[in-house]
């Protein structure tokens, strides 16, 4: 049915489920979403666990659809990846983050580093680093202000290529993080060959700190110690409870991100939050 072009609709009824239909609709509507300003970027602060001071933020894409309301990234990003639209959308996210950094600097707000998620499609672009650097430099932003996150499973696909791409990011002055760490079932040793600044421990392990206290602690402790040995920062993702935060502190985990201290904030609210941090 996929190859049949404009006759595709004929094949809809029995074989195509609602999710396939939804995919088509989302893909179609995404095209207009960018042009019509339905996309936005929210910013979730990251904190040092020791003193709860601000350590940075992560940019997270949002889509407010005029009819369907808010559509979660986990629904529309896979669609944009399959259609290739993620490349254009990804460029746009980088521009928005540049704009935020310019705004922060113009307002005398803290000169934090902002992390941006890269999809597998973006990461595999041959000219990715040059492409990003063009955008960042023409916005007049220093590369040190940005970090790029790739998931562990993307990093593992082709380790030589991953290693080379990460080296290139580093050579241009950008920091790199491994996202969703612990979900890829990879040996921990491979991390050594990447020049990674930060490891982000997946939420599932943070939740495990409440549920299976002993095993949960052992797992996170292993990741934290590994990161220490390799001179990387560790960020715990999805921290929702005081208990999780206390246990992370006891394990000497560096940083945390999660609803307990802050949800992702729309641009204006994020700037307001930073004004508070800066005591302005």
Choose one: 2-10, 31-39, 209-217, 251-259; the region binding ligand C2E (CB under 6 A). 251-259
Cβ proximity to Ca ion: between 29 and 80 the closer is 80
Q: Among 29, 101, 20, which residue's Cα sits nearest to residue 66? A: 29
Return d(Cα 9, Cα 32) in angstroms, integer: 21
Instruction: Please pick, from the candidates 66, 72, 173, 266, the single residue that binds ligand C2E as defined by CB under 6 A.
Output: 72
Q: Does 93 bind ligand C2E (CB under 6 A)?
A: yes
Instruction: Please pick, from the candidates 30, 60, 141, 178, the single residue that binds ligand C2E as defined by CB under 6 A.
Output: 60
Q: Supply the minimum distance, in Å, between the C-beta of residue 180 and ligand C2E.
A: 6
Contacts of residue 71, defined as CB under 8 A and 6 or more positions apart, other chains included, come to: 26, 63, 64, 65
Q: Left (φ > 0), alpha (ψ -120 to 50) or beta: where does 174 sit?
A: beta
> Nearest 5°: CA angle at 204, between 43 and 257?
25
Cα torsion angle, 142, 39, 272, 59, sign: negative
Q: Supply the minimum distance, in Å, between the C-beta of residue 149 and Ca ion.
A: 4
Q: Among 92, 32, 42, which residue's Cα sits nearest to residue 66? A: 32
Q: Supply the minimum distance, in Å, between the C-beta of residue 58 and Ca ion.
A: 6
Choose one: 131-139, 218-226, 234-242, 249-257; the region binding Ca ion (CB under 5 A). 234-242
Q: Does 117 bind Ca ion (CB under 5 A)?
A: yes
Instruction: Please pick, from the candidates 258, 265, 270, 274, the single residue that binds ligand C2E as defined by CB under 6 A.
Output: 258
Q: Are 246 and 50 in contact (CB under 8 A)?
A: no
Q: Are 270 and 40 in contact (CB under 8 A)?
A: no
- Total of residues contacting ligand C2E (CB under 6 A): 22
Choose one: 18-26, 28-36, 188-196, 255-263; the region binding ligand C2E (CB under 6 A). 255-263
Instruction: Please pick, from the candidates 149, 175, 233, 254, the single residue that binds Ca ion as defined by CB under 5 A.
Output: 149
């Amino acid at each position: 049915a996929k190859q049949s072009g404009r006759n595709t609709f004929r094949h809809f009824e029995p074989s195509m489920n609602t999710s396939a239909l939804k995919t088509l609709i989302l893909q179609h509507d995404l095209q207009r979403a960018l042009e019509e300003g339905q996309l936005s970027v929210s910013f979730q602060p990251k904190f040092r666990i020791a003193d709860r001071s601000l350590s940075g933020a992560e940019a997270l894409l949002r889509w407010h659809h005029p009819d369907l309301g808010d559509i979660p990234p986990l629904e529309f990003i896979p669609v944009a990846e399959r259609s290739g639209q993620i490349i254009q959308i990804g460029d746009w996210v980088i521009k928005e983050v540049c704009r935020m950094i310019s705004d922060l600097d113009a307002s005398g707000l803290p000169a934090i580093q902002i992390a941006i998620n890269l999809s597998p499609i973006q990461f595999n672009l041959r000219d990715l680093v040059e492409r990003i650097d063009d955008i960042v430099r023409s916005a007049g932003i220093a590369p040190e202000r940005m970090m790029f996150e790739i998931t562990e499973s993307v990093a593992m696909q082709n380790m030589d290529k991953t290693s080379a791409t990460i080296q290139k990011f580093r050579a241009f002055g950008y920091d790199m993080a491994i996202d969703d760490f612990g979900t890829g079932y990879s040996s921990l040793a491979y991390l050594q060959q990447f020049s990674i600044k930060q490891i982000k421990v997946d939420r599932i392990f943070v939740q495990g700190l409440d549920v299976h206290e002993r095993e949960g602690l052992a797992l996170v402790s292993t990741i934290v110690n590994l990161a220490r040995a390799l001179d990387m920062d560790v960020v715990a993702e999805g921290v929702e409870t005081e208990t999780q935060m206390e246990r992370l502190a006891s394990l000497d985990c560096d940083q945390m991100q999660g609803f307990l201290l802050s949800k992702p904030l729309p641009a204006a609210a994020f700037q307001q939050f930073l004004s508070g941090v800066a005591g302005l």
